């Protein structure tokens, strides 16, 4: 196994090993660039994944203390769990459902297409769909996304068949088993999906793409990457010229270490990434690194979400097969006649009994709750996911008094739904109920938003240093050798699940970094 000295200032340090960090590490390593990946979580594997929801949650989830504020429902139901993300090698790619959708052209230019929306901080991305298309194609090939590159779609389970039947009766046209980064046939030295179900516990067969067993092992084979699990970064350091010089972290034994670096790429998800920049404040950067715009931590997006379940006379067994077994995309368009800007997707969802009990309607015990749980095998479920509005006051900040075990201020996540989010959710709830009613449901019911799995913004990219944190390549405006390499760089959220776009941007960023290093620009 390759190791690099902590004094080696020629390495690229990547903080985080998920969709952004893990992909970037492999792309750079394949180009002959030395990389050190620092991952706060422990190493797991398909063999060690636990097929038990609660035990798996404890094994994979990011459970470090966080606080919430704002009017969003999650702050009431889950005040210390604003996000359901992972703290493990591979990051949230160990837990994600696999949906891999390209952003639409208009979603890169929301300020242009939507105009000014009161209370929203809309801004066009500094990159277009056309510019990203070749990188999207590379990401889809890398991840083995179904319905691309001649890869067939996955089979539809009962959960999908119920949703599809209702959707087609309502006249929806774009209804299929999705674009999924899950092997429908053997590919890339990994077998096909075995339709085991309960996918959020980690893919036991390895059919679902995860940087844990794709990008990171490939990077290690080059001899150009060192992965250090259980390494919690607490500060990024810089010199008198304002260039970053390395990072300070605590290793698995709790010992403080300092790794030198030629450049640093932060890929800690949209909560930990801004938190680290803010924790790294100094006399030169009193408001945190890369924060001359004041936008670090701001414009936090989590997608408009909610769920609808239908109860049927006959068993559905929604949990059998892939969790996100199908999609209805017709509502993802931008059509203000519906009373809101942007659009949303309907995607099948199946939770196991423990999580159903926890998320169905937190605190809402009673006859209805008991009836739904008694009829668990007769339920069909869908998740609603749509574009939420970026808002400056939806933000990640450092808590004024609470510290973590390393002595760093914990993050607070503040979020208020925008009126556009509320209108979209109401429309989505209504249409989801109609889908199940059209399919013959005895009754259909709504479930409030869960802790977010799609975290975006907080270090947005933009054309100007005045109103954004980084440029179109994730390079921070203020510090040339400091990069944002995860969903934090999203300018707006789109209606689509974000992982494919994170991987796409990482592939493109690796090219840019290699060019910049070769030319000695950084």
Q: Where does the pLDDT of residue 511 fall: very low under 50, low under 70, confident under 90, or very high at 90 and above?
A: very high
* Segment (H or E) for 513: helix 499-518
Q: Per mean pLDDT, which of 188-197, 357-366, 455-464 is the most reliable?
A: 455-464
Sign for the pseudo-dihedral over CA of 411, 415, 421, 423: positive
Q: How confident is the model at residue 86, as a pLDDT?
A: 97
Was domain 14-46+53-80+87-518 assigned CATH 3.40.50.300? no
- Nearest CA among 90, 89, 72 for reference residue 81: 72
- Global model pTM greater than 0.85: yes
Q: How confident is the model at residue 447, as a pLDDT?
A: 93
User: What is the tens place of the pLDDT at every residue in 59-104?
Assistant: 999 999 999 999 999 999 999 999 999 999 999 999 999 999 999 9
The mean pLDDT of 169-189, rounded to a whole number, is: 97
* Segment (H or E) for 12: strand 12-15
What letter does residue 407 receive in the DSSP assignment? S
User: What is the tens place of the pLDDT at every residue in 297-345?
Assistant: 999 999 999 999 999 999 999 999 999 999 999 999 999 999 999 999 9
**Mean pLDDT across the chain:** 96
Q: How confident is the model at residue 357, as a pLDDT?
A: 85
Q: Where are the domains of the chain?
A: 14-46+53-80+87-518
Strands 443-447 and 232-238: unpaired
Q: What is the DSSP string of 88-137?
A: BTTGGGGT---B--PPPGGGG-HHHHH---TT------SS-HHHHHHHHH
Q: Return d(Cα 215, Cα 89) in angstroms, integer.
A: 11
Of 12 and 51, more confident: 12
Q: Where does the pLDDT of residue 53 fall: very low under 50, low under 70, confident under 90, or very high at 90 and above?
A: confident
- For the cut 90, the answer to whether the pLDDT of residue 497 exceeds it is yes
Q: Return d(Cα 323, Cα 235) in angstroms, integer.
A: 37
Q: Where does the pLDDT of residue 112 fall: very low under 50, low under 70, confident under 90, or very high at 90 and above?
A: very high
Q: At 504, is the secondary structure helix, strand, or coil? A: helix
Instruction: Name which of 48-62, 257-271, 478-492 the model is least confident about.
Output: 48-62
The mean pLDDT of 285-295, rounded to a whole number, is: 98
Which positions ≥6 away from 481 have C-beta within 8 Å? 243, 244, 262, 263, 264, 522
User: What is the tens place of the pLDDT at every residue in 466-480?
Assistant: 999 999 999 999 999
Q: How confident is the model at residue 156, as a pLDDT?
A: 94
Contact predicate 287/281, CB 8 Å: yes
Q: What percent of the chain has pLDDT over 70?
A: 100
- Nearest CA among 170, 94, 229 for reference residue 438: 170
Q: Could you give the count of Cα atoms lying within 13 Å of 155 in the half-sphere of its Cβ? A: 11
Q: Return d(Cα 390, Cα 154) in angstroms, integer.
A: 34
What letter does residue 265 receive in the DSSP assignment? E
Q: Where does the pLDDT of residue 286 fall: very low under 50, low under 70, confident under 90, or very high at 90 and above?
A: very high
- For the cut 80, the answer to whether the pLDDT of residue 265 exceeds it is yes
Q: How confident is the model at residue 273, as a pLDDT?
A: 98
- For the cut 90, the answer to whether the pLDDT of residue 43 exceeds it is yes
Q: How confident is the model at residue 362, as a pLDDT?
A: 77
- For the cut 80, the answer to whether the pLDDT of residue 434 exceeds it is yes
Q: How many helices (H) and strands (E) does the chain have?
A: 12, 17
Q: Where does the pLDDT of residue 244 fall: very low under 50, low under 70, confident under 90, or very high at 90 and above?
A: very high
């Amino acid at each position: 196994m390759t190791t690099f000295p902590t004094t080696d200032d020629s390495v690229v340090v990547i903080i985080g090993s998920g969709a952004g960090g893990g992909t970037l590490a492999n792309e750079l390593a394949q180009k002959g660039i030395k990389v050190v990946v620092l991952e706060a979580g422990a190493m797991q594997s398909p063999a060690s994944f636990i097929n038990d929801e609660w035990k798996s949650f404890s094994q994979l989830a990011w459970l470090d203390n966080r606080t919430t504020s704002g009017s969003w429902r999650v702050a009431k139901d889950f005040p210390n769990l604003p996000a359901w993300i992972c703290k493990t090698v591979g990051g949230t790619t160990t837990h994600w459902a696999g949906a891999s959708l390209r952003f639409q052209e208009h979603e890169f230019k929301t300020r242009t297409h939507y105009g000014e929306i009161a209370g929203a901080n809309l801004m066009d991305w500094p990159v277009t769909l056309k510019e990203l298309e070749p990188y999207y194609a590379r990401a889809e090939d890398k991840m083995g996304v179904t319905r691309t590159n001649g890869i067939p779609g996955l089979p539809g389970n009962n959960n999908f068949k119920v949703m599809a039947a209702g959707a087609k009766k309502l006249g929806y046209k774009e209804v299929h088993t999705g674009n999924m980064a899950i092997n429908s046939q053997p590919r890339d030295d990994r077998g096909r999906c075995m339709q085991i179900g309960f996918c959020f516990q980690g893919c036991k067969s390895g059919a679902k793409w995860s940087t844990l067993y794709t990008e990171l092992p490939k990077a290690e084979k080059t001899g150009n990457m060192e992965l250090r699990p259980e390494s919690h970064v607490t500060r990024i350091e810089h010199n008198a010229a304002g260039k970053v010089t390395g990072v300070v972290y605590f290793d698995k034994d709790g010992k403080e270490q300092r790794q030198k670096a030629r450049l640093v790429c932060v890929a800690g998800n949209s909560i930990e990434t801004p938190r680290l920049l803010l924790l790294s404040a100094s006399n030169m950067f009193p408001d945190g690194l890369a924060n001359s715009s004041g936008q670090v931590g701001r414009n936090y997006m989590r997608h408009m979400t909610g769920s609808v379940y239908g109860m049927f006379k006959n068993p559905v067994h929604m949990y059998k097969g892939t969790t996100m077994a199908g999609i209805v995309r017709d509502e993802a368009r931008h059509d203000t006649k519906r009373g809101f800007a942007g659009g949303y997707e309907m995607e099948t969802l199946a939770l196991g009994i423990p999580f159903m009990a926890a998320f169905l309607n937190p605190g809402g015990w009673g006859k209805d709750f008991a009836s739904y749980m008694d009829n668990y095998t007769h339920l069909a479920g869908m998740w609603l996911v749509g574009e939420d509005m970026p808002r400056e006051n939806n933000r990640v900040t450092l808590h004024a008094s609470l510290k973590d075990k390393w002595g760093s201020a914990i993050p607070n996540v503040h979020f208020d739904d925008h009126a556009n989010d509320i209108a979209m959710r109401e429309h989505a709830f209504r249409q989801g109920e109609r889908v199940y009613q059209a399919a013959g449901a005895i009754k259909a019911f709504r479930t409030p938003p869960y802790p977010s799995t799609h975290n975006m913004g907080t270090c947005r990219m933009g054309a100007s240093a005045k109103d954004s944190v980084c440029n179109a390549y994730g390079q921070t405006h203020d510090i040339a050798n400091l990069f944002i390499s995860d969903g934090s760089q999203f300018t707006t959220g789109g209606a689509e699940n974000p992982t494919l776009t994170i991987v796409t941007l990482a592939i493109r960023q690796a090219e840019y970094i290699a060019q910049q290093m070769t030319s000695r620009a950084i």
